[in-house]
Amino acid sequence: MDRATFACSTAFFHDSSTSSQAAPGLPGGHVDFIEKVDSFTYSDFFRDYLIPNHPCIFSAKITEDWGSRRNWVTRDGKPNFDHLLQKFGEAVVPVANCDVQEYNSNPKEQLPFREYVQYWQEYIRNDYRSSRGCLYLKDWHLGRAFPEQDVYTTPVYFSSDWLNEYWDAVAVDDYRFVYMGPKGSWTPFHADVFRSYSWSANICGRKRWLLYPAGQEEFLKDRHGNLPFDVTAPSLQDRRVYPRYSQSPPPVEIVQEAGEIVFIPSGWHHQVYNLEDTISINHNWVNGCNVAIMWCFLQDELAAVQREINQWKDPMDDWHLQCQLIMKSCTGIDYKEFYNFLKVIAENRISVLEKGLDEEASAKNTSKAAISTLGMLHAVFDLKRTVKVLTSLSANEDFKKLDLTSLSPPPEALLHHLKAAIDTALL
């Protein structure tokens, strides 16, 4: 991060309210196409897309050196099933049935990868029809299962990734996925986990994206406040069921070609179709630009849980704790883990600011290496954003009702350390 971008970002987040960072709108409804990635800097991306929370598309040049682009695709641009079976045939993968609605998603099952590929090949031979329905391999943690494989390298634009930095540190989970599906497979209307950013790279095939800027999904809710499963369904025309649908602007539409990467902003709801047999790689990620949006989302989720079990508040001694447990089961995180999330991010940046980064540390800790690559000013920016959200978390009444004695260091001590580190770095 250069000084001009640091100044721009500091001014923007100083002047903006938390909610305005997810404000709807895209000038002209136009999505920029980044053709010359060699001359497009990280600061360009940060200033023009991360801060205003706008989507963009990167040309296929950005993925041309990836192992998956070379090895997973045949010369005519189709999935290389033979290679994939050779490398991953014995894996067990999560597969969704696109033809079945279960609540607001598709039911999943675990299948051997070999069986899924056999199904896919037969599906193609039968003109994309099967009695089993349209099956879509989704949310496969391939990188975690096969770390030795040469698949891809995360582009620098997406390298400030607090979400995966934290989950790598606690060695529990990650938010890096592979998707594989036939023509006609699709993902229903949704926003990404924690209202995170996402980036999605097409290894082969084509996708059609329908994007709704953050806030515009409100027009699509039914009279009970529920979002639709499919935003193209004719039933949305019924004003008795969807009273505000007629006020909804049309979605921002993108057709993503093979090799291209789409950047999806924080909080943007979307629906996605595979127009051809398609393989893609996807990351969900959070950083200093949208961590406040994540915090707002968590507060909204907790409030929804509290409303749902409000009748048990008086007779239940540990009602506040139970709300946290339910929230974690639904979203994957609670307030105390969110504190630990902020702590890990902050301590990694303080370590780089105080000690620098030698070659040995770089080899052992890819997160700290990424922090160093982005520069000291980026580390300071991250700390400033962490202080902002941590201050709000510490003052939150629901957080204060929890047993915080297990948190080390205590929130007040961590805040003091962060502010001191920022002051020292800016001397």
Structure confidence at residue 314 (pLDDT): 87
pLDDT tens per residue across span 98-119: 999 998 899 999 999 999 999 9
**pLDDT, tens digit, for every residue of 311-327?**
999 888 899 999 999 99
**pLDDT tens-place string over residues 173-230:** 899 999 999 999 999 999 999 999 999 999 999 999 999 999 999 999 999 999 999 9
Angular region, 267: left φ>0, alpha ψ -120 to 50, beta rest = left
CA distance 407 to 388: 19
Handedness of CA 46, 48, 49, 55 (dihedral sign): negative
Buried b or exposed e, range 232-246, using 16+ CB within 10 angstroms: eeeebeeeeebeebe
Rounded mean pLDDT, 17-34 = 68
pLDDT exceeds 70 at position 20: no
Predicted local distance difference test score (pLDDT) of residue 59: 99
Q: What is the pLDDT of residue 22?
A: 46
Burial class of residue 147 in the structure, from the number of CB atoms within 10 Å of its CB (0-12 exposed, 13-18 middle, 19+ buried): exposed
Q: Which CATH fold would you assign to the domain 23-215+254-285? A: Jelly Rolls (2.60.120)
Indicate if the alpha-carbon torsion angle 32, 34, 39, 45 is positive or negative.
positive
Kindly state the tokens that stand for 8.
């721009």
Band of pLDDT at residue 61, cut at 50, 70 and 90: very high
Stretch 163-182: mean pLDDT, rounded? 95
Q: What is the pLDDT of residue 364?
A: 56
Taking the C-alpha atoms of residue 239 and residue 40, their distance in angstroms, rounded to an integer, is 45
Predicted local distance difference test score (pLDDT) of residue 16: 65
pLDDT for 358 = 53
Measured CA to CA, the distance from residue 321 to residue 259 in angstroms comes to: 46
- pLDDT at position 319: 96
What pLDDT does residue 357 have? 53
User: Over the stretch 260-307, which tens digit does the pLDDT of each residue have?
Assistant: 999 999 999 999 999 999 999 999 999 999 999 999 999 999 999 999
Question: Is the pLDDT at 360 greater than 50, yes or no?
Answer: no
Residues 6+ positions from 256 with CB-CB distance below 8 Å: 57, 200, 202, 206, 207, 208, 209, 262
Peptide bond into 27 cis (omega under 30): no
Predicted pLDDT at 372: 81
* pLDDT(171) > 90: no
Domain ranges in the chain with CATH number 2.60.120.650 = 23-215+254-285
| Measured CA distances, 36 to 30, 33, 235, 322 (Å) | 18, 9, 42, 51
What confidence score (pLDDT) does residue 96 get? 98
- The proportion of the chain whose per-residue pLDDT surpasses 90, expressed as a percent, equals 85
Q: Which of 194-203, 227-236, 363-372 has the lowest mean pLDDT?
A: 363-372
Q: Is the model's pLDDT at 27 over the cut of 80?
A: no
- Widest pairwise Cα distance in the chain: 68
Average pLDDT of the residues of the chain: 94
